[in-house]
Structure 1
Amino acid sequence: MGELNIYRQLGIKPNFSEIARRYGFDRHTIASYWEEGGDIDDGRCRRTSGFDRHRAVIEEKAALPGVTKKAVHEFLLHRSGDAGLPGYNAFTHYCRTRGIAFSDPGGPEPHPRFETPPGRQLQFDWKESLSMRSRRGELFEFNVFTATLGCSRLHRFVYSRTRTTDDLLACFTAVIRSLGGVPEEWLTDNMSSVVTFSGGRRARSERVLRFAREAGFDLQLCRPGMPETKGKDESANRFLSRLAAYDGDFEDEAELIAVIAHIEARSNAEPNDSTGVPPAALFMREKESLRPVGNMRLLEDMVGDVREQTVPATMLVRAAGREWSVPRKCIGRRVRVIAMPGGQIRITMAGELVAVHDSSQGTRKVNYTEEHYADAISGKARFADADIRAAARENLELLDRMGGAADE
């Protein structure tokens, strides 16, 4: 059709036989289209799409504020288990032809690209004040610490309830542990956990500077009014925007953290727009240029009181003179428990954050979250036909009335 339209514009009569041979049509069909201006029906418009069975979900997700087509396509790949689902280009065509509208955000302001050699720079920031609801309607308000290596563009995303200096240093240690090395220069903007202002001058947190010196990196701040100097980490927002598609579609905090980990893995597996190579592949080369990690235990001690424990069948670990719950999957495994000066209790297993508690809230000796307790009793025969959540709440209330004494 495009070729025939060009012939029309040039005032040239085409060779119908030659066009029919190249495109696989009868020459009379080509001639009829030329003479009558009719469309050529090759049957493709009547084919069903692999997205048709997911159309209700696509329209539901498209109506969510801030969600993008890429986010919904990634959500379908993650959740549907449909191995034959077409690619992203086919998805955009499907949405366009079916009239499914999205409110894709506009692109960023243009600025020149700035490259750094391997191991030189890591850019970091907060994706802050996020809020999402679980399937049960429970509201989760949280932040995500984002870090991006300047050369390979490898992303690291760390879930955090708050954005204190405690949280920042905990995220630093998580990133160093996952990278297995330390970039020379860490670049950020004027985040409050790093910078204070006095008399119109910026001052970097002494506690953060001490950590940087011990870890062996230089802490640098963007020049005022030029946040684009850390534009590689700003691209993390493009990947984290995919979280919007999961609003109302996760069970609890543990699954929310798992979704963020899934988005991180996908961001590192997709070819980068600038390099044309997946960040995870380039990182294998950049890792060789990172500075070696010194005393990791000392770095963790600068964040808070660190203890390694084996999780018992009670699913409770000890910190700050009290006991705190962890997910059922941790039973019998070694975990690291960090009690921070601000009162937060962070528990990791194999480098993965599995539980967060706040010791400043209440004085109970034994502290189970409802999710962990419900997970624990779900396998008990006497709760098989009960509302697990209701049973968990009832037992936790009884535990509170008993003064927090655990029934071993």
Structure 2
Amino acid sequence: MDAHALRRQGWTISAIARHLGRDRKTIRAYLNGERVAGQRRQAPDAIVPFLEYCAQRLADDPHLWGTVLFDEVVELGYRGAYSTFTRALRRHGVRPHCEPCHAATGRDVAVIAHPPGEEIQFDWLELPDPPAEWGVGEHAHLLVGALAHSGRWRAVLAESEDFPHLVQGLDQVVRKLGGTARRWRFDRMATVCYPSSGQITAAFAGVAKYHGIGVDICPARRSNRKGVVEKANHSAAQRWWRTVPDGVSVEQAQSGIDKLAVRMDRRRRRVGEAMTTVGELAAAESLLALPALPFPAQLELVRTVTPQGLVAFRGNHYSVPPGLPGAQVTVTMRLGEDTLRIATAGRAVIAQHRRAPDGAGQTVRDAGHVIALERAVLASFTDRAPCKSKVRRPPSAAALAEAERLRGQATGSAAERVVINLDTYAAVAERLRTAPTPEEEPGE
């Protein structure tokens, strides 16, 4: 305002700059309308080189999380902060509008206080359309466990949601968390309780007693009671599963979810007036020690024998006796033991091996199986020369005789089918030999 007023009075730009204590370029910019009071000059937008990539990713998937897209552009060379990135996405209008997602209705929400080390919340997350190489069908299964106080969570991929896989997944999750809380919370899954009443099953009561914890079941149709693990499910589905490429192995996918869970420990939390992180809160929780071995549940999986006499299990291959290619066998493993058994459909055990580490890519062969397979393969070999293909071999006498027999049989059958009565033709011919008399004329 002062610069414009002094300029109208005839002051030079240098005089105005000396009087107001500003640079001449600043005074000239305000007088020429290049700068406006109250509006800060925008720094160069660092997202411009990445706008086309962001627009393409959001056009392919309008519900892609901003955190996932931020991780991708950081790997491509973006150096700005996350808040600057999301503000630029909104300013440039990169994300397409989705009308159904903007029709959510509000409801009352109460925050439940969870003391440190008091509760772990568990839930199954069904992942649609897994890679075909996994061989798990239409859905993959992810068991997610979250500490209710701090929000730290870990997850484990499983082939099924049955009782043995649940027990194994629970043991792996709590070991990844570094211990167990005093109580476990579940929804009304049939492997834990009777869904109609919420009463704990006898089998899972043994698991709870083995770990020395209590079990809480959510009331029917009250999934908000385990909102911490539900939010972890949402993060796992949107930030990890949505971006899993085709052709990835189960072990690689498990490594990806582990990395995401560790990265989520850097989330900031406010406790009173102090700022902390999820990882620091989880480290301060007093968790119970875990048993040395998992609960001894028995795991059974059906596998197909390969032509090489091998059975695939958890990223490794185990040998069976020869003569079973394509047969269905059952792999049995008791949790906590380092051996596995392979049985036929009739429950006859045909092999027993020491387990290799999951995902190690090892081939475990029994010496007896190797010798038997070599003998079977060598026995099928022959030193006879291969049959010649370019030779002349006309039909033999036996073949010609059989052909004549077939022709005669065909002729005889045709004669039997046609029946001709010649008496009728003879009577007609006899009448035609003489002319008819006047008495035989018609109409007489």
Q: Is TM-score (shorter-chain normalized) higher than 0.5?
A: yes
- Out of 250, 266, 271, the position equivalent to 1:269 is 266
How much does 1:62 deviate?
5.1
TM-score (norm. length: structure 2): 0.56
- Out of 205, 208, 212, the position equivalent to 1:212 is 208
Match in the other structure for 1:231: 227
Match in the other structure for 2:156: 158
Q: Deviations over 1:227-266 (max 9, x none)?
A: 2121122220332111254143663322222211111111
Matches within 5 A, 1:107-146: 110-133=108-131, 141-146=139-144
Q: Deviations over 1:321-350 (max 9, x none)?
A: 98545659xxxxxxxxxxxxx9676999xx
How much does 1:196 deviate?
2.5
Match in the other structure for 1:242: 239
Matches within 5 A, 1:254-403: 254-272=251-269, 276-286=275-285, 289-293=286-290, 295-297=291-293, 299-301=294-296, 303-304=297-298, 324=312
Corresponding residue SS for 1:56: helix
Match in the other structure for 1:69: 66
Corresponding residue SS for 2:117: coil
Whole-Å separation in 2 of the counterparts to 1:109 and 1:252 = 41
Matches within 5 A, 1:7-46: 26-33=26-33, 42=41, 44=43
Conservation of the 8 A alpha-carbon contact between 2:185 and 2:215: yes
How much does 1:212 deviate?
0.6
Match in the other structure for 1:196: 194
Whole-Å separation in 2 of the counterparts to 1:135 and 1:54 = 35
Conservation of the 8 A alpha-carbon contact between 1:120 and 1:185: yes
CA RMSD of aligned residues (A): 5.0
Q: Deviations over 1:111-140 (max 9, x none)?
A: 22122222111111112243345899x987
TM-score (norm. length: structure 1): 0.60
Q: Larger Cα Rg: Structure 1 or Structure 2?
A: 2
Q: Deviations over 1:247-306 (max 9, x none)?
A: 4366332222221111111111222477853222112211xx22222x332x332x2379
How much does 1:217 deviate?
0.7
Query: Relative contact order (C-alpha < 8 Å, sep 6+): which is higher?
Result: 1
Corresponding residue SS for 1:202: coil
Whole-Å separation in 2 of the counterparts to 1:247 and 1:23 = 55
Q: Is structure 2 residue 93 aligned with structure 1 residue 99?
A: yes
Specify whether residues 305 and 139 from structure 1 end up closer, same or farther in structure 2 by C-alpha distance, changes over 3 A only.
closer
Q: How many residues align?
A: 315
Whole-Å separation in 1 of the counterparts to 2:51 and 2:333 = 41
Match in the other structure for 1:251: 248
User: Any gaps of 5 or more consecutive residues in structure 2?
Assistant: 1-15, 301-308, 317-329, 337-341, 354-358, 364-369, 378-444
User: Any gaps of 5 or more consecutive residues in structure 1?
Assistant: 1-15, 307-320, 329-341, 349-357, 378-398
Corresponding residue SS for 2:216: strand
